[in-house]
Amino acid sequence: MHIVVCVKQVPDTVEISIDPETHTLIREGVAATLNPFDAWALETAIRIRDERGGCVTALSMGPPQAETVLRQAIALGADDGVLLSDRAFAGADTLATSYTLARAVQALAPVDLVVCGKQAVDGDTAQVGPGIAAHLDWPQICFVKKIYATTSDSLTAERAAESGSEIVTSSLPCVLTVVKDTCRLRFPTLKQQMRARHAEIPIWGAREIGVDPEKCGLNGSPTWVDRIFAPPKRSGGRVVQGDVNALMAAFFEKMEENSLLDEGGGDG
């Protein structure tokens, strides 16, 4: 079984800046790390491989320094990694990103399973995994909490739903998106760290995966950031002391000042 895990390098800080022209994250000089949700996706893929056999390929799209998360993935148990890095990919929204990743999955064929984290913590859209499935025309199971069974042609998983959980069986190949805390994460051994350090990470550009230049990067992104601003800071609160009647009177007085009560609505 060939499993591809999509991993992303995200800023390891909340102090980020936005390019005023492209409205994309400025990543240069900012500490980066493996997207937390992708760590559980990777662990899920490794456990399936260990049970069924096969290999796990970590796939990432980003600048050259994103190679770091691929080496981290290999240290944690992935068999190899591929980096998608090309100026043509820069500034991609979730549609263009999922298209580019899907083209890379096709270039890695045959692939039986694609596993993604539920979302990236720098975007929080949860759209890339389903987007990959749409571009590949594969079935998908989102918000996976647990894998119950895998065979050569199907997979059964438990997924989180609004009103509880669902048990879903899908044919293979398919795409999974995984929530956090699905299983215990492993730590890399010294041997795995050494293997990761010396691993060759191929870098694929637009030519290697045969993308349509109008469907990737900024050209292929129908959504964009129009404006970035910081919300105004809240003023300090007011502390009122006294008995219940005094507190209630002060509360309604403040609401009236802020026009939160209708005229005459304070009675009763």
Domain boundaries, the chain: 2-220
User: What's phi and psi for 6, nearest 5 deg?
Assistant: -90, 120
Distance CA 156, CA 115 (A): 14
Residue-wise pLDDT tens digits, 95-138: 999 999 999 999 999 999 999 999 998 878 899 999 999 999 99
Segment 43-48 mean pLDDT? 96
Q: Give 228-231 contacts, CB < 8 A, sequence gap 24+.
A: 228/18, 228/23
Distance CA 43, CA 48 (A): 9
The predicted pLDDT at position 268 comes to: 44
Find the farthest-apart pair of alpha carbons in the chain and give their distance in angstroms, rounded: 75
Segment 29-44 mean pLDDT? 87
Tell me which architecture the domain covering 2-220 has in CATH: 3-Layer(aba) Sandwich (3.40)
Residue-wise pLDDT tens digits, 182-228: 888 999 999 999 999 999 999 999 999 999 999 999 999 998 777 76
> Which of 8-22, 30-44, 185-199, 208-222 has the least mean pLDDT?
8-22
Look at the block and give the residue holding tokens 């956090």.
Answer: 180
pTM as predicted: 0.80
Distance CA 78, CA 238 (A): 55
DSSP 41: H
What percent of the chain shows pLDDT beyond 90? 67
The predicted pLDDT at position 133 comes to: 98
| C-alpha 67 chain-centroid distance | 17
The predicted pLDDT at position 230 comes to: 64
The predicted pLDDT at position 234 comes to: 75
Look at the block and give the residue holding tokens 């996706």.
Answer: 41
The predicted pLDDT at position 112 comes to: 97
The predicted pLDDT at position 235 comes to: 72
Whether residue 267 is predicted with pLDDT greater than 60 in this model: the reply is no
Query: Do strands 113-117 and 2-6 pair parallel, antiparallel, or not at all (unpaired)?
Result: parallel
DSSP 198: H
The predicted pLDDT at position 266 comes to: 47
Sign for the pseudo-dihedral over CA of 120, 116, 220, 134: negative
Residue-wise pLDDT tens digits, 172-184: 999 999 998 888 8
Q: Per-residue confidence at 141, pLDDT binned at 50, 70, 90?
A: very high
The predicted pLDDT at position 182 comes to: 82
Looking at residue 178, its amino acid is V
Average pLDDT of the chain to the nearest whole number: 88
The predicted pLDDT at position 23 comes to: 57
